[in-house]
Structure 1
């Protein structure tokens, strides 16, 4: 059966979210140190990023200065000053009624950000094929710093996504991002575990490592749906709309801490017909055999039909393998693997 797929579109939202993720946010927030001192992130630069991110979160709406001030938590004078600085470069455009939207000057920045990520083009091309094969929403992500960024997204025509957005970020901390850890170096996994918002006991660290090994053997990751995860995704969506919202950030961080010990949220899935599965993902590998991206299907707000999990997992694995091959990567799994249903 074939499904109509939404035609590809290039929006200011997708461009600026990717640009923000790769050119601004992580470079501005990274702390540099030398033998004498450590530099702190620039507060004025953060405010510029907040304004741009807020405009990007509302690509079809023209916003007044007051709207932007309320949404970012900045004062009106600061917002006005930032907008006046961005306008001459075409990063924002001002309407006759003094309302603002993103400008065409952002397009070259988005293209420049993507130019260094060949894998993104390949992921985009593969997602439409994956959507047609499984009839579910598909997405791809990469790790940037301590966060996971959605870099490609596709869905059936007429289906509106409530929780997944291009450029959306979530913390790269347990239990999130296991697909990005398959066959990763031990140091990468240790760093991920160390970033947990709660201190893990040795047996908890072992449990996570066992889950990663289980997924490596199977070749893909299954995410089981729990109520806390649903609320977490709602908080992430709200944070994308209101990047300066302290309440949304606090809810997100509280839910991250809770999910650390929600063992059902990261598996391993054993093939139970009663399991509520919301995501299936697999790693895309680089030339060194380490993950460079993850690709998968997402069923929120509904669940994946348990009887079709193995079928969908096969489609996800094949999509990941095709992207790995096209970027001349190397899948470290020594033998061909296909998902099997566990009973």
Structure 2
């Protein structure tokens, strides 16, 4: 049986927006999917009416709450509500960093919301994309999970045990997790982030972007302890992450894309405070929904 070209165009449109690192214009989406711009305008109008896409103030499109809601009725769709996006916008304005909300189920992390900073977009997974995660990623959520979940998360490497427990203790003390690259790679993180931001999500070959993003992810996989963050000197910071609670369970992680090779103590504290306050506000909205 032949496929349905109109349905295929809708699927292609949603897949393109899910993989995009920033909202896309009608022209950009039409060119990527390979349809006429009037046709794409009609497709987006229908998707917008259904809540599957939304248009920002620059008239560019991103995935909407309806797509996230397809994940189930346990709060997955709530992370894309306008009230929560407004909190993310406030966090971006306060820190000049891009932010992401991810939902964690078992060992799978799915991006359910993403707001870029005007200064630098957040590289990484697009909306709706899923990644299998393990130690030390998602430590902000794992600090509040069961001991059995934490053991599975840290894996069976002998050197993971003590360090993983110390990381989780630090998260509970601070209210957030902080990540850095290896010391020798600190400046490379900033350079890669600048490269991905400068060329924009639509102006680089997808294979090259995926390679650069994987490299960046590999350079941001070392977790700080609270004693490390208390140092007086500037430190490289890739990401900060705080748990978002829904009826007492840490099911989401709010991530702040700092991506800088030197962040001074006062600014680190300001980032942490802004992040945890935003996570608390989102948790309250989830519980009230």
TM-score when normalising by structure 2: 0.63
Q: Given the alignment, which residue of 67, 82, 87 partners 1:113?
A: 67
Q: Does the aligned pair in 2 maintain the 1:282–1:294 contact within 8 Å?
A: yes
Q: Alpha carbons of 1:246 and 1:308: their partners in 2 closer, same or farther (altered >3 Å)?
A: closer
Q: Does the aligned pair in 2 maintain the 1:223–1:267 contact within 8 Å?
A: yes
Structure 1 consecutive aligned stretches of length 4 or more whose deviation exceeds 4 Å? 45-52, 98-102, 228-238, 240-256
Give 1:336's aligned residue. none
> Are positions 1:54 and 2:16 aligned together?
yes
Q: Which structure: greater strand fraction?
A: 2
Q: Does the aligned pair in 2 maintain the 1:136–1:297 contact within 8 Å?
A: no
* Unpaired segments ≥5 residues, structure 2: 1-6, 53-63
Whole-angstrom distance in 1 between the partners of 2:215 and 2:261: 24
Whole-angstrom distance in 2 between the partners of 1:293 and 1:48: 29
* Unpaired segments ≥5 residues, structure 1: 1-44, 69-78, 84-92, 195-199, 330-343
Q: Alpha carbons of 1:170 and 1:303: their partners in 2 closer, same or farther (altered >3 Å)?
A: farther
Say how many residue pairs are matched. Answer: 248
Q: Alpha carbons of 1:119 and 1:147: their partners in 2 closer, same or farther (altered >3 Å)?
A: closer
Give 1:281's aligned residue. 241
- Please report the RMSD computed on the Cα atoms of aligned residues, expressed in angstroms: 4.4
TM-score when normalising by structure 1: 0.55
Q: Does the aligned pair in 1 maintain the 2:178–2:239 contact within 8 Å?
A: yes
Q: Does the aligned pair in 2 maintain the 1:138–1:153 contact within 8 Å?
A: yes
Q: Alpha carbons of 1:129 and 1:252: their partners in 2 closer, same or farther (altered >3 Å)?
A: closer
> Are positions 1:207 and 2:163 aligned together?
yes
Whole-angstrom distance in 1 between the partners of 2:160 and 2:280: 31
Offset at residue 235 of structure 1 (A): 10
Whole-angstrom distance in 1 between the partners of 2:215 and 2:196: 12
Whole-angstrom distance in 2 between the partners of 1:47 and 1:99: 9
Q: Alpha carbons of 1:185 and 1:53: their partners in 2 closer, same or farther (altered >3 Å)?
A: same
Q: Alpha carbons of 1:248 and 1:206: their partners in 2 closer, same or farther (altered >3 Å)?
A: farther
Give 1:141's aligned residue. 101
Offset at residue 104 of structure 1 (A): 2.4
Give 2:283's aligned residue. 324
Offset at residue 202 of structure 1 (A): 1.8
For residues 161-172 of structure 1, what are the structure 2 equivalents within 5 Å? 161=121, 163=123, 167=127, 169=129, 171=131, 172=133
Please give the secondary structure, in 2, of the residue aligned with 1:127.
helix
Q: Given the alignment, which residue of 151, 170, 180 partners 2:141?
A: 180
Q: Given the alignment, which residue of 99, 109, 115 partners 1:153?
A: 115
For residues 253-272 of structure 1, what are the structure 2 equivalents within 5 Å? 265-268=222-225, 269-272=228-231
Give 1:308's aligned residue. 267
Give 2:150's aligned residue. 189
Offset at residue 48 of structure 1 (A): 8.6
Q: Does the aligned pair in 1 maintain the 2:26–2:40 contact within 8 Å?
A: no
Whole-angstrom distance in 2 between the partners of 1:245 and 1:140: 21
Q: Alpha carbons of 1:303 and 1:225: their partners in 2 closer, same or farther (altered >3 Å)?
A: farther
Q: Alpha carbons of 1:224 and 1:101: their partners in 2 closer, same or farther (altered >3 Å)?
A: farther
